[in-house]
Amino acid sequence: MSTTPTAPVRKLSPWYKLVYGSGDIGRASFNTLRMIFYAIFLTDVVGLDPRLASFASLVSIIWDAINDPIVGALSDNVRTKWGRRRPFLLIFAVPFALAFLMLWWAPPWQSQVLLMLTVTLAYMISDTVQTLISVPYLSLTPEIADDYDERTSLTTFRMMWNLIASLVTAALSPAIVDGVVAGGATLQQAYLIVAAIFGGISIVPFMLIFAVVRERPQPAVHPHDEHLSFKSTLKEFVQNTPFQYATGIYVANWIAFDIVSLMLPYFLLYWVGSGNLLATVSLLGANIGLETIALGTMFGVAILTLPLWNWVSKKMSKPQAYLIGLALWLTIEALVLTVGQGQYTYMLVLCLFVGIFTSNAHIIPEAMFPDVIDWAELKTNQRREGTYYGAINFIRKLSSAVASFLALQVLGWSGYQSPSMGTTVFIQSDRALNAIRFLTGPMIIVFLLIAGFFTLRYPLTRDRQHRIRRSLERRQRREERRRSRQG
């Protein structure tokens, strides 16, 4: 057993973790609005055929996936007195807020093709701005936390803000839309008001992070490694075995979650709510929208169970903790087909259990990824957090785009019809309803099994990660002694 001394673990204060994690308020609001409401916004507000909406989404997300590694490599090579990542947060905080509005504008064109092209362009621009914030922000995680469990703790704080923002966004957005429409405004105006509210809120955390969070000292520049070719970068990814397995887990996990988020409004309104677009649930004497109460239950429970998964991960390991949550997720997806029309209580009970694995799915795959970057540093003597986060986002978004495209294609070919403006009750065909049920339940099981396959083979255990950190610390001490002798 090795007795090599190790550097003391850098413990981050709860305040520091809270400040850093708050950056996910804006990101979660943006992504929650887009994941849960954007597809139904395109079909029911913009008036796009689901098949054209799927093409708009596919092209846009492919572009978004392409720009992720570009921004990642750019942030790796930026050198300023404020660090490599933080300047992006300062410069793009306000444009990120404006990107909300661009995404939720319904063009007044009559042509379906022109609508599709306009929506695609707006999506591409808004998502480019989001990438310029997200990739540098996420790349800070392995820079400010270098311990196996500290990274899980930091990710837990980030996901606490993420899920709080998701809860508020998912629960309040339908209520705001309903309230604005009841006041005489159009659905388009209602969505723009929602975008303005959550976009405006997102500015403050990024400014706060810029002011408070500090990056570790920038690594020495090695000119021969500074600008890797695409071929060299791809070769590094191929040779990084932990990266391959972590990518498989991350991608399959988020494809499953994205499709669930995409289909949940359709499932709640057209199947559980029997086509009542204003379906409500009575709670404590108040009538609350079905979407609001279901999404509120899911994200509320997810927030409450965050400490549970942080604790389980420390007691066991990240892969073991994820597998426990995955087993619960598989069980719930298998029960989706047993939900009948009008069974509001049963659906809400399922949403409660959905919340338990939602927190697991948000924490564990995210906490695994910084460990992969340590392994890469050990092999290459270079830290390229931005490049790796850009690559994982590229792969995830590209695969998610294809999955969402296919889901919307299935919905379109099943005969799904958009309700006309002002309609409050709209019944879809049996064929469309069956497609919605299949996409919300059994379809997800396939991706969960893929995630489980990669998790069982993930090679970075807690002990191995500690050995990697010790090796990196020894290398750093040797480098410091060498520079001291040269100085």
CATH number, domain of 71, equals 1.20.1250.20
Residue 285 is classified by DSSP as: T
Label residue 53 left, alpha or beta by phi (over 0 means left) and psi (-120 to 50 means alpha). alpha
pLDDT recorded at residue 323: 94
Task: Identify the domain containing residue 454 by its residue range.
Answer: 14-214+253-417+425-475
481 lies in a domain?
no
241 lies in a domain?
no
How does pLDDT run across 398-423, given as a tens digit for each residue? 777 777 778 878 888 888 887 776 67
How does pLDDT run across 8-54, given as a tens digit for each residue? 556 788 899 899 989 889 888 888 888 778 877 888 888 888 778 77
Q: Kindly list the distances between the CA atom of residue 276 and the CA atoms of 279, 282, 426, in Å, as whole numbers in the listed order.
A: 5, 15, 7
pLDDT at 2 over 60: no
Distance (Å, rounded) from C-alpha 162 to C-alpha 166?
6
208 lies in a domain?
yes
pLDDT at 451 over 90: yes
Cβ atoms of 452 and 323 closer than 8 Å: yes
82 lies in a domain?
yes
Q: From the CA atom positions of the chain, what is the Rg in Å?
A: 23
Residue, of 454 and 397, whose pLDDT is higher? 454
Of the candidates 484, 389, 482, 473, the one whose C-alpha atom is nearest the C-alpha of residue 146 is: 473
pLDDT at 195 over 70: yes
pLDDT recorded at residue 5: 43
Q: At what angle do helices 187-212 and 24-32 cross, to 10 degrees?
A: 160
- The whole-number average pLDDT for the span 255-266 is 84
458 lies in a domain?
yes
Cβ atoms of 254 and 467 closer than 8 Å: no
How does pLDDT run across 214-244, given as a tens digit for each residue? 876 655 544 444 455 556 666 777 777 888 8
Distance (Å, rounded) from C-alpha 455 to C-alpha 242?
11
Distance (Å, rounded) from C-alpha 342 to C-alpha 296?
19
Of the candidates 382, 371, 342, the one whose C-alpha atom is nearest the C-alpha of residue 475 is: 382
487 lies in a domain?
no
Distance (Å, rounded) from C-alpha 36 to C-alpha 29?
11
4 lies in a domain?
no
**Domains contained in the chain, number:** 1
How does pLDDT run across 458-487, given as a tens digit for each residue? 888 888 878 887 887 787 778 777 767 765
- The whole-number average pLDDT for the span 378-395 is 74
pLDDT at 99 over 80: yes
Confidence of residue 6 (pLDDT cuts 50, 70, 90): very low
How does pLDDT run across 282-328, given as a tens digit for each residue? 776 677 778 778 888 888 888 889 889 888 888 888 899 999 999 99
Cβ atoms of 387 and 237 closer than 8 Å: no
Distance (Å, rounded) from C-alpha 57 to C-alpha 412?
14
Both tokens of 358, joined, read 């939602």
pLDDT at 354 over 60: yes
188 lies in a domain?
yes
- The whole-number average pLDDT for the span 161-190 is 84
Q: Kindly list the distances between the CA atom of residue 83 and the CA atoms of 126, 214, 218, in Å, as whole numbers in the listed order.
A: 25, 8, 7
